[in-house]
């Protein structure tokens, strides 16, 4: 199984950098444990070009900070019904998947990991509470990535939003 974990957000806006912080930690964990078949990427935002990047994977997990009323983190299943946002410089995971399906005729399983954030000021560094949520998401993801076939065989076993 080819897996892509893709974090996005702005580390210069405090907790908005949660997705990128998670990918940084997971990338180190994967290297330390010599995992193969897992790729990592991050950016400030998703772009339409990411449709090609996800087309070569079976499982894609996007990670982003969330302002939603969730506990520490949760996953949602992304379908290809997304519409383009105001500008082509920012695309949603659903829109990236839709482009992947239409342009490359590929349909990977795409999940969005929402990590609860609290502070969004223009400064670097996560808030204490967001850091705790990041660590909870990190431990969950290392378990999931240790046995992705088992984890996704039954989506109801995932920590869904």
DSSP 17-46: GHHHHHHHHHHHHHHHTT--SEEEEEESS-
pLDDT at 36: 86
In the predicted structure, residue 98 carries a pLDDT above the cut 50: yes
pTM of the model: 0.93
Domain 3-157 CATH class label? alpha beta
Flag whether pLDDT at 128 surpasses 80: yes
For the chain, the first-to-last Cα distance in angstroms comes to 24
**pLDDT at residue 157 greater than cutoff 60:** yes
pLDDT digits (tens, 9 = 90+) for 102-118: 999 999 999 999 999 99
Among candidates 99, 112, 90, which has minimal Cα distance to 54? Answer: 99
Report the pLDDT value the prediction gives residue 87, as an integer from 0 to 100: 46
Nearest CA among 16, 5, 9 for reference residue 59: 5
- CA–centroid distance for 96 within its chain: 13
Mean pLDDT, range 49-67, rounded to an integer:
97
């Amino acid at each position: 199984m080819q897996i892509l974990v893709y974090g996005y957000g702005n580390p210069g806006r405090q907790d908005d950098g949660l997705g990128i912080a998670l990918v940084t930690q997971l990338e180190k964990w994967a290297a330390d444990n010599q995992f193969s078949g897992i790729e990592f990427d991050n950016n400030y935002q998703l772009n339409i070009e990411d449709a090609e990047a996800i087309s070569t994977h079976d499982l894609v997990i996007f990670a982003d900070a969330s302002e939603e009323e969730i506990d520490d983190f949760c996953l949602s299943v992304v379908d290809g019904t997304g519409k383009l946002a105001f500008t082509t410089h920012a695309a949603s995971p659903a829109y990236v998947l839709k482009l992947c399906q239409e342009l490359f005729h590929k349909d990977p399983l795409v999940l969005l990991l929402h990590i609860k954030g609290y502070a969004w000021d223009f400064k670097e560094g996560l808030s204490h509470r967001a850091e705790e949520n990041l660590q909870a998401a990190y431990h969950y993801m290392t378990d999931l990535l240790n046995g992705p076939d088992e984890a996704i065989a039954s989506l109801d076993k995932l920590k869904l939003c």
